[in-house]
Amino acid sequence: MAQDKSTRRPRAETPKGFRDYFGAEVTERKAMLDKVAEVYHRYGFDPLETSAVETVEALGKFLPDVDRPNEGVFAWQDEDADWMALRYDLTAPLARVAAQYRNDLPSPYRRYAMGPVWRNEKPGPGRFRQFYQCDADTVGAPSVAADAEICAMLSDALETVGIPRGDYVVRVNNRKVLNGVMEVAGVLDPTDPDRFANERGIVLRAIDKIDRLGDAGVRALLGEGRKDESGDFTKGAGLGAEQAEVVMAFMAARRATGLETTARLRELVGPSTIGQEGVQELETIADLLDRQGYGPDRILIDPGVVRGLGYYTGPVFEAELTFEILDEKGRKRSFGSVAGGGRYDDLVKRFTGQSVPATGVSIGVDRLLAALQAKGRSTANTTGPVVVTVMDRDRMADYMAMVSDLRNAGIRAEVYLGNPKNFGNQLKYADKRASPIAVIQGGNEADKGTVILKDLILGAQIAQNATLEEWKDRPAQVEIPRADLVAQVRKMLDQ
């Protein structure tokens, strides 16, 4: 017997960890990114679109020292046995471009990039293997004026997409200040960099938990360690009480104004050169922003911002949405971070050997879009098309002429192209399309030179099972001359 061919059919499934975006999901994201791009453009940033594929060597983070260097990335070998991979962010390709075209690009180079990135990680709820990033970076500008500009632009971008002032704050910190504080606290031992890195990591993680653990919990983690409710013990950074006190003071250094905060930080970093430099940078940023009208209601010096401090080398910033939403358990919580960034060095140096200063920000596209949707501020038009139904398949040309008239007047419209026999199916179709109006012309109407317009938004709830006759009796429909089609549809849509 021949093998059953049906068993060889491919499965119609989105690959695990990936997803498909339909209709409004595409247009809403596009509308948001278009607005962000408009702001970036106004700030003089130019778009850059690199290929999705890079050499693993250029991506750098993932070295080809194993047989399949696809840890974290999707990678394959090309015909020359070189390892290629899908980009995992938009910063690594920028570094490659900045090095490759360094003689042709303007310097400083302001660029923005929007597009998908890929991560070969275990997928989870809300965690996908392909997602959008939206980055803006300035390469080759050593001055913190570049960092201030990024913060102002981020603030403008958030307001432009629909987050009103007061519903967000951009917090600014500086990695150098923390280094200074730790130097003063005696944590920084220049002769043992490994130990320092380890202790700094513990301190950073402890600071990051202040919201959850409170002062006492963080103090314990800065010292010997902490036992949680379940009895598990987390080893601490081993700081003495006085050392811990300095770090705690750093976290609590935020004051009512940026100037007061930096004054307090200046006390805390004391004689540390790196610390003084960091405070000076924060002062300059606060002053530049203030002079442009970006006060602490929008952009704030806040030593409590830690995320990413380990990665960055100078100023860091994070945009937080401050309004509350209900989490999956129905509890109120602040929406939280939607963008972050900071100054990083040695990005281009990997390629050229020459250090190039850079600073930038990345917006979490899906999170910001979710925030807009949560607040009902997504502005994409998701109205379906006017649907012209087909009562008599021999008069398809008449129906197509109707949609043509509507479209030429700028009205989104389509004719039903399925099997027209079952009129109920046509109404179900219009319903599925979120159509605002159905146009109907049977033989009687054609003879009279009229069409029937049915208001589907009004009639949606009963349209599913009604027959044509029941349906024509509904009050939410009008019979009009064919010649008035465009004018009457426009009137109904404008209501």
E-strand ranges in 175-287 read 225-227, 233-235
Structure tokens at 71: 């840890």
* Given 32, 119, 135, 138, the residue binding its own copies (CB under 8 A): 138
Local structure of 37: helix, strand or coil? helix
For residues 41 and 22, what is the distance between their CA atoms, to the nearest angstrom?
28
Which part of the chain contacts its own copies (CB under 8 A), choosing from 20-28, 162-170, 319-327, 371-379? 20-28
The reply on whether position 127 binds its own copies by CB under 8 A is no
**Sequence-ordered list of residues with C-beta below 8 angstroms from that of 96, at least 6 positions apart, any chain:** 50, 54, 58, 351
The reply on whether position 141 binds its own copies by CB under 8 A is yes
The reply on whether position 259 binds its own copies by CB under 8 A is no
For residues 475 and 459, what is the distance between their CA atoms, to the nearest angstrom?
9
The reply on whether position 400 binds its own copies by CB under 8 A is yes
Cβ 95 to its own copies, closest distance in Å?
8
The reply on whether position 121 binds its own copies by CB under 8 A is no
The reply on whether position 332 binds its own copies by CB under 8 A is no
Residue with tokens 């980009």: 87
Q: In the range 287-326, which residues lie near its own copies by CB under 8 A?
A: 287-288, 291-293
Local structure of 479: helix, strand or coil? strand
Q: Are strands 75-77 and 83-86 parallel, antiparallel or unpaired?
A: antiparallel
With CB under 8 A, what is the number of residues at the site for its own copies? Answer: 100
The reply on whether position 417 binds its own copies by CB under 8 A is yes
The reply on whether position 451 binds its own copies by CB under 8 A is no
Which residue's CB is nearer to its own copies, number 76 or number 311? 76
For residues 86 and 95, what is the distance between their CA atoms, to the nearest angstrom?
15
E-strand ranges in 303-380 read 315-326, 332-344, 358-364
Sign of torsion, CA 303 309 314 316? negative
The reply on whether position 277 binds its own copies by CB under 8 A is no
Which residue's CB is nearer to its own copies, number 117 or number 177? 117
Q: Provide the residue type at 400 as one letter.
A: M
Which residue's CB is nearer to its own copies, number 23 or number 214? 23
- Sequence length of the chain is 495
Cβ 103 to its own copies, closest distance in Å?
11
Q: Are strands 413-415 and 386-388 parallel, antiparallel or unpaired?
A: parallel
Q: In the range 345-384, which residues lie near its own copies by CB under 8 A?
A: 350-353, 384
Cβ 412 to its own copies, closest distance in Å?
5
The reply on whether position 257 binds its own copies by CB under 8 A is no
The reply on whether position 337 binds its own copies by CB under 8 A is no
The reply on whether position 216 binds its own copies by CB under 8 A is no
The reply on whether position 143 binds its own copies by CB under 8 A is yes
Which residue's CB is nearer to its own copies, number 143 or number 488? 143
Q: In the range 26-45, which residues lie near its own copies by CB under 8 A?
A: 26-27, 30, 41-44
For residues 335 and 374, what is the distance between their CA atoms, to the nearest angstrom?
10
Cβ 182 to its own copies, closest distance in Å?
29
Q: In the range 69-98, which residues lie near its own copies by CB under 8 A?
A: 70, 74-76, 78, 84, 86, 96-97
**Sequence-ordered list of residues with C-beta below 8 angstroms from that of 418, at least 6 positions apart, any chain:** 425, 426, 429
The reply on whether position 6 binds its own copies by CB under 8 A is yes
CA distances from 224 to 183, 227, 235, 251, 495 (A): 19, 10, 6, 19, 68
* Given 72, 116, 270, 308, the residue binding its own copies (CB under 8 A): 116
Instruction: Output DSSP code: residue 72.
Output: B
Cβ 55 to its own copies, closest distance in Å?
6
Local structure of 51: helix, strand or coil? coil
